[in-house]
Structure 1
Amino acid sequence: MIRFLPIGLRLVAFALLVAFVTNPDWFAPLFRPLTQNNAPAIYNQGSLLGLTLQHLRTVAIATVAATAVAVALAVLVTRPIGAEFLPLSRSLVNIGQTFPPVAVLALAVPAVGFGEKPTLIALFLYGLLPIFENALTGLTTLPPSVLEAARGVGMTGWQRLARVELPLAVPVILAGIRLSVVISLATATIGSTVAAKTLGEVIIAGLQSNNLAFVLQGGLIVAALAVLIYDALTALERIAARRTGRLSPAG
């Protein structure tokens, strides 16, 4: 399990990551022992910084889309008018977990072609479940006294949702987003098998050329991103939990 990093270690990890993706040649001596037959020690088939930013972009787009759909579904099934759709909603958000991402990519490529689009579809489907379940938990475990007070001051259903329910559920929803992002950061690497620009390019290039240095570089960047983003979202959860007086059960 990824642990919450002390602030000093956080800053060091972030500084090393930035230094590596912007000036990877500085680290060549560290990776040279992992190469064979005078192979390059640093990935030289593209920009590590460019691939890192594109990797983050793909994950961000998929996560925003998954968050919007998952939270909307959770809101729908927690209203009286949509309660009967809960089993169907659970079946829909479980699709991404039922089919492996590789299978989703294989099915998506004939429909949308190679590149980023099939990767976005796979990440979107894969990210729905944790966000939906956490949003559902957040909206269904609110203190009854708070909801009664909101009704007592004359708030409408939409006012209660916007001003009371969603703000109080934010820490729990953030926990679901955190899990979804970490899963997507790792899963996005397979997008390079269908020509998406991700850090998977570095890993695949290393596997094809039997260059362990490339494989390690791609893996380390993804791992560092996962730890730092997990850490940042955990901090946001704690801030939101303190402000609402509600601790996230998934945090």
Structure 2
Amino acid sequence: MVGRLFLLAAAALLCALLAVPERFAPLFVPLTHNNAPPIYLQTSLLQLTLSHLGLVALAVAASTLVAVAGGVLVTRPAGREFLPLARTIASVGQTFPPVAVLALAVPAMGFGAGPTLVALFLYGLLPVFENTLTALSTLPPSVIEAARGMGLTRRQRLWQVELPLAAPVILAGVRLTAVISLATATIGSTVAAKTLGEVIIAGLLSANPAFVVQGGLIVGLLAILIYEAFQKLELWSARRAGQIRPR
């Protein structure tokens, strides 16, 4: 009950901050100096948030599609020899700094959303890939044998048995990727992508902590809500797969 009230309060605060940010000016005034503006108004906070979420959603969707496909491939008999290569590629994407990816992508793609999408895509591969690999590799052999005994083809076993059972663990990886990407996307504003990093950078450049807090607060509230939404989705998926009994 307390958790639900907290989430409702977080959602209400986020909606109010995006819809009528000027109402929060008195709260941010103590963070300003020399009569600096307490609320970032150069661009609509709502528009920046929607643009930020759009970039993150597109990058996470692409990372999930590629990582799940890669996880499925290396858990099939014909693709097991590619496991070391696939894991290396996913690991490099996670360990290579997003800032470095931006620096390399800008000369080829120009400024804007493109380099940010590339950085987020690469950064989001590893959690989904590893969770997909773990989920598909640890399925109960008895279940697979039962599906085989029912006469299901390999494709049918994958879509009707393996992926539904693996979905909760895969979604946990997607949840981690989404939260990481949500925070990492703020650096996209350094290459002219429309993200909430614009507010934070404006605060740093003008020595105005109020802007920094606003950008960080919105990203933090979004992260909490997205994290909880994915947890609910994971729970629903586990119940649908019969791994958790409905209450």
TM-score range, shorter chain: over 0.9
- Aligned residues of 1:20 and 1:27 also touching (Cα < 8 A): yes
RMSD: 1.2
Supply the distance in 2 between the matched residues of 1:48 and 1:5 (Cα, whole angstroms).
29
SS in 2 for 1:38: coil
Letter of the aligned partner of 1:32 in structure 2?
V
Aligned to 1:47: 44
- Aligned residues of 1:41 and 1:213 also touching (Cα < 8 A): yes
Q: TM-score scaled by structure 2?
A: 0.97
Aligned to 2:77: 80
Letter of the aligned partner of 1:73 in structure 2?
G
- After TM superposition, give the deviation of residue 44 of structure 1 in Å: 1.5
Identical amino acids, percent of aligned pairs: 69
Of residues 117, 123, 127 in structure 1, which corresponds to 2:124? 127
Aligned to 1:93: 90
Aligned to 1:209: 206
- After TM superposition, give the deviation of residue 143 of structure 1 in Å: 1.1
Aligned to 1:199: 196
| Residue 50 (structure 2) pairs with residue 67 (structure 1) | no
Structure 1 alignment gaps of length 5 or more: none
- Describe the superposition over 1:119-147 as per-residue Cα deviations: whole angstroms up to 9, x where unpaired: 00000000000000001111111111110
- Describe the superposition over 1:190-230 as per-residue Cα deviations: whole angstroms up to 9, x where unpaired: 00000000000000000000000000000000011001100
Letter of the aligned partner of 1:63 in structure 2?
V
The ranges of structure 1 where at least 4 consecutive aligned residues each deviate by more than 6 angstroms after the TM superposition are none
- Aligned residues of 1:171 and 1:246 also touching (Cα < 8 A): no
Pair 5,160 (structure 1): closer, same or farther in 2 beyond 3 Å:
farther
- After TM superposition, give the deviation of residue 246 of structure 1 in Å: 3.2
Q: TM-score scaled by structure 1?
A: 0.95
SS in 1 for 2:42: coil
- Describe the superposition over 1:85-135 as per-residue Cα deviations: whole angstroms up to 9, x where unpaired: 000000111122221000010011011111000000000000000000001
- After TM superposition, give the deviation of residue 242 of structure 1 in Å: 2.0
Structure 2 alignment gaps of length 5 or more: none
- Aligned residues of 1:93 and 1:125 also touching (Cα < 8 A): yes
Letter of the aligned partner of 2:208 in structure 1?
N
SS in 1 for 2:124: helix
Supply the distance in 2 between the matched residues of 1:56 and 1:13 (Cα, whole angstroms).
17
Number of equivalences: 244
